[in-house]
Structure 1
Amino acid sequence: MTEHVVITPPRSRWGRLLSAEDAAEYLGIGITMLRGLGIKTKPVGRRVMWDRLDLDRWVDRISEQPILDADQGKEQEDEEARFFERRRGRARH
């Protein structure tokens, strides 16, 4: 008897409206992070969907962040270090 293996091809094209799982995968982030970004959602019946164009606009907006001067950069690095330190502390408990 021959065993059949089903191979799912990679998604070749994204639809216009995406579920939370698909929208997070599209952006390359987790679902929790996606929900915290504040990107506008579209109600479709009882489902909550993300418009792919809104996701693209969000990425375009964050990619055009102003360049920080040295003091602002250091301040941001310190803030990020504190954030990750708090996060590591929670993971230990």
Structure 2
Amino acid sequence: MIVRIMGEGQVQVAESHLPGLNKLDDELLAEVESGDQDGFRRTLGALLDAVRSAGEALPDDSLEPSELILPAPDATLEEVKAMLKDDGLIPG
């Protein structure tokens, strides 16, 4: 799966990492819905770090279609809230 982190680029992540990423995504969704700014910031950072460490960065000149788009590390709670779907940022 190709994941784009806004402002950073694309990362190839194996589907086997999705359960762990979904757990963090569920936490992030709960924090956004409750307005927990500190929890949101911590969990967004953990989610993005997990994607970076689980995947392999694609070259900057690669233009592969992204299957998943995640917010930039400095995104606000309100910006992420606008990106969320019923099941969070990561489907499943």
TM-score (ref. length: structure 1): 0.27
Q: Which has the higher contact order (CA 8 A, sep 6+)?
A: 2
Give the TM-score of the pair, scaled to structure 2.
0.27
Larger radius of gyration: 1
